[in-house]
Amino acid sequence: MGAGRRRSGLAGALALVVGLGLVAGCGDSGGGSGEETGTSSATSAGEATATPATADEATAAEGTGSGEDGTASSSAPVNPADIPPGREIAEGGGGPIQYTFREEWRRALAEAQAWREGAYLYEAFGRYVNDEGVPSEWRMSFVAGPAAEADAVLIVTIDPWGQVTETEEMTESLSSHVSEFDQPVPVEVLDSDEAVTLGRAALGSMYDLGKAQDPYVAIGLSELDGTGPFWRYGFFYPPSAEYYLARLDAVTGEVVPEPAQG
């Protein structure tokens, strides 16, 4: 299976975003068309560079934390019990409990492993994420066995309260959903609340976060070279009508520049 442009499975969840994938942002309520975007790749907590990008170029740069040599290590699929607990957040201080990424992952993984033994998460996307790292829903993508040999992908949609609301098995056009570089997301990754805090800090020195719209968060490996995993935090910025993002090593939290596009 090739490693060309992918993530069209998630694009179904992103209807009006930049087109194909995780790094696309959320364009419908952002006030932009989503056909042309700009991405800002933060290089430190106080520095970033903005470069115009087409939807296809933006998609190519997606990904997630890394081994010491910058390449993802091949780890065995995890058991839900191995994932560290996520945060429990009571709405309004006393309402229904919402959960950060780790707890949502634990629950979605159990669903995926009921689908196929040994299934593992290789990417996840959360749209309209709040400052505590809780999006309106997570769409988590799972395969079983080597990604390059996958004959199906399971996409699990889970709401902020930990309820699986939809599962969808993909068996066609799999090169659009998974690449040969995809591997299990390791249990050592930061939780989504930490990723959002770090992402906002990286972008907040350059952009007025009060004007940002449609924030999103994503985790996965780079489809270009398999490095990662990385967290991405991004948003649409109406003053410039562009999207901006910060890419973080998903294990250490270090800001990592986006790779140059050829």
**Mean pLDDT for the stretch of residues 100-119:** 96
pLDDT for position 139:
98
pLDDT for position 261:
63
pLDDT tier, 78 (very low <50, low <70, confident <90, very high otherwise)? confident
pLDDT for position 131:
96
pLDDT for position 223:
79
pLDDT averaged over every residue in the chain: 77
User: Taking the C-alpha atoms of 206, 13, 135 and 183 in order, what is their torsion angle to the nearest 10 degrees?
Assistant: -90
**Mean pLDDT for the stretch of residues 6-13:** 39
**Mean pLDDT for the stretch of residues 99-115:** 97
- CA-to-CA distance for 18 and 59, rounded, in angstroms? 8
Percent with pLDDT over 90 in the chain = 56
Q: The whole model's pTM is what? A: 0.75
| Nearest C-alpha neighbor of 242 from the set 21, 39, 58 | 39
pLDDT digits (tens, 9 = 90+) for 122-155: 999 999 999 999 999 999 999 999 888 999 999 9
Q: Say whether pLDDT at 160 is over 90.
A: yes
154 CB-near residues (< 8 Å, 6+ apart): 112, 115, 116, 119, 141, 142, 143, 167, 168, 169, 170
pLDDT tier, 45 (very low <50, low <70, confident <90, very high otherwise)? very low
153 CB-near residues (< 8 Å, 6+ apart): 9, 141, 142, 143, 169, 170, 171, 174, 177, 178
Residue 260 or residue 150, greater confidence: 150
pLDDT for position 147:
87
Six token digits for residue 167: 């599962």
Q: Which residues make beta-bridge pairs with 167?
A: 156
